[in-house]
Amino acid sequence: MKKILILLSFFLVSGISYGDAVTDTLNQLNNLDITLKILFLITILSLAPSILIALTSFVRIVIVLSLLRHALGIPQSPPNQVIVALSLFLTFFIMKPVFEEINANALQPYLNKEIGDMEALQRATQPVKKFMINNTRKEDLKLFLDIANEKPASPEEVSMITLIPAFMISEIKTAFEIVFIIFLPFLIIDLLVASILMSMGMMMIPPMMISLPFKLILFVLADGFELLTKALIQGYRW
């Protein structure tokens, strides 16, 4: 449990370690006593939900699963708790290679007292940054680089304060593209059912009531959850 907390802390700190104020604070960590280090760690852990959303695949997954309910016509089922829990565990599954690299290159050497605090944090930042750059659209990253007036010589020199919003916007765009493709077959079913009901003169019956069972059985028979999960996982590059 202790190793898991330390690993999570390295991941969280690595995500914000390039902000100017936080960088100045981290540069002085080696000179602080253990009490102040614990206080700093608790502060970072309090920001865990926001950082987890910003630096991982959680945004794309939760948007796709949430809008899938609307495509099926059942916006209240599965409930939000189920959607968030599934998104969280899929995020951990997708981010597993990143966590393993942080554990091997930063956490274990730090626990074995082979490296110091700052070097461990710098090593933990590298796999997180690599994952985000590999999954950020070039046009989104260029937008924020132009606004920030940054001209990095290589992707590794892009600051996290610029990379994080570009990564999040890129994730939202990709999620909307996936949802658009998901909506199409269900939209066709709704149109067919509505046309049939109108041709039969049954205009008082809500088409959604008739089309819902057909959409559910189509999604189940087509292994929709399996295909969607596979697409979400394989859509990432490490």
b/e code 3-37 from CB counts within 10 Å (16+ = b): eeebbbbbbbbbbbbbeeebeeebeeeeeeeeeee
Longest CA span, the chain = 80
Q: What is the pLDDT tens value at each position of the chain, 238 positions in all?
A: 445 445 555 555 555 454 444 444 444 445 455 666 677 667 767 777 777 788 888 999 999 999 998 888 888 888 889 999 999 999 999 999 888 888 888 888 878 878 777 787 788 888 888 899 888 998 988 889 888 888 888 877 888 888 889 999 999 999 999 999 988 888 888 888 888 888 877 777 777 778 888 888 888 888 888 888 988 998 888 7
List the domain boundaries for the chain: 1-55+95-133
- In a 3-state reduction of DSSP, which class is residue 35? helix
Q: Model's pTM, two decimal places?
A: 0.79
Q: Which residues contact 55 (CB under 8 A, 6 or more apart)?
A: 11, 15, 128, 132, 164, 167
Query: Is the Cα dihedral 33, 17, 45, 4 positive or negative?
Result: negative
Q: Could you give the C-alpha distances from 216 to 12, 73, 84, 103, 224, in angstroms and in order? A: 39, 9, 21, 42, 10
